[in-house]
Amino acid sequence: MRRRRLVPALATAAATAVLALAPAAWAAPAVPADKPLVLSHWTQPSAASYHAWADAREHRDAWAAYGFDWSTDQCTTSPDNPFGFPFAAACARHDFGYRNHRAAGLFPAAKARLDQAFYADMKRVCAQYSGGRKSSCEGTAWTYYQAVRLLGIS
């Protein structure tokens, strides 16, 4: 009986000793404290926010310490370039916002802003057109926005 109690106690003591001697490199890397601020900065509806995100995406290795999820399926099951309107980058930033806010536990509070930023990104795409083509683009952007607003997974 005495031996059965001693074995788990020795195993626990040995594990504690090994962990105490483990090099600091074994510890999980610290995430920069300003990660939520950076994430918020890159997911606002403004053009400046979009350009800051696009620049960071282009140089994502410089942001590796933050552990951002840059993956994207672009516009999911909808066309990335509906009727020739290039919405793929807007969809990629929307994916970035959803995935990283979820991972940070900030998604429910940020969802409306992320969807608005998505719509603003698409409207900036539409601004390069005129006449009927612009109207068509804006209608398509509105449809995409309504889809994520109503169906985007919270």
Instruction: Estimate to the nearest angstrom the gap between the alpha carbon of 113 and the chain centroid.
Output: 13
| DSSP letter (8 states) at residue 83 | G
| Interior/surface letters 115-140, b for 16+ CB within 10 angstroms, e for the rest | bebbbbbbbbbbeeeeeeeeebbbeb
Catalytic residues: 94
Which is nearest to 145 in space by CA: 125, 129, 101, 131?
125
Which is nearest to 96 in space by CA: 50, 47, 144?
50
